[in-house]
Structure 1
């Protein structure tokens, strides 16, 4: 674990007073509550106490029983002594366990709430925007006005509906002329094929003679 940085010191030069230096080191170790080497402590204190002085003072404080320490590889690490009276009582531990259990029990409900909220958010995001709804309303209003105008004209008699007999008569005429057109088209096709097969006249000359600008 990388060393935790202490707050930047306002000291402009290393402390030379051993008593003050010991107090700074001790307060730092107690506040951090983890082991550090002399190099780490000096660096984290921004060299308010030089590395050499920190190493010397740590060993002296350890010998006086003010801090704890042990060898770790090629160097020593030191940490603040724990206050035996600072341990939690059984009642406090029970309360902490109850709180942990309560929080753990709340996790499924919180997950369900999160899922529901996420679904609602997704629905809101997929819904039409205000501008899109406004445009849709305007389009519907325009269509409504157009239909109302057409209905008004019909009600005022400005446009008379075609009766069934008239419609059937017109449709019959259309079918009759369509049959005549189809018959003439077939007849022309047969005649054109005969003339072209005979070699008497070419297609372009035939169309030019008949005044045809495009396919019959």
Structure 2
């Protein structure tokens, strides 16, 4: 290895130990530096730095551990350590709260992605409402007619009516679930959400699914 490469490796290793100020083995440092320097270069740099008094070497059985020279760091008072510990605890709480919120939002997003889009639901709801109204008008007309219809046609009409009313209720329930999911993270009111996305409701037109 060239002299410049040796100096570069030694500088990188020294900076890493000083910045993190934690004990590491040669393998730890080699991996944590993303293998930027060869393992042999890292080991040699640690040994040279320790021999020159720039870092400290501790031997535990067959394991060697290296740490930054603590004399270069200012002395920390006991109350400062307590303040640091308190700040670390507060930051950990914030991290945990953020992770919980992130998981909650991921669940909401997953739910929204697995259902129909709002525009599709709105379009389908209006379409189903229109069809139900047309079928109801047809049924009313047929029921009030003087002439009789075939039993098969009558049964089909009632069957279709039941099917479309069920579909209406199903779509209405889906639309309600989706808007409720959106509202969990929506900063405005439900009324404002409906206005923003242009969603029209049965209540606006004084209609509701008929009994079946």
User: TM-score higher than 0.5 here?
Assistant: no
Return the index of the structure with the highest Cα Rg.
1
TM-score category, normalised to shorter length: 0.3 to 0.5
In terms of fraction of residues, the more helix-rich structure is: 2
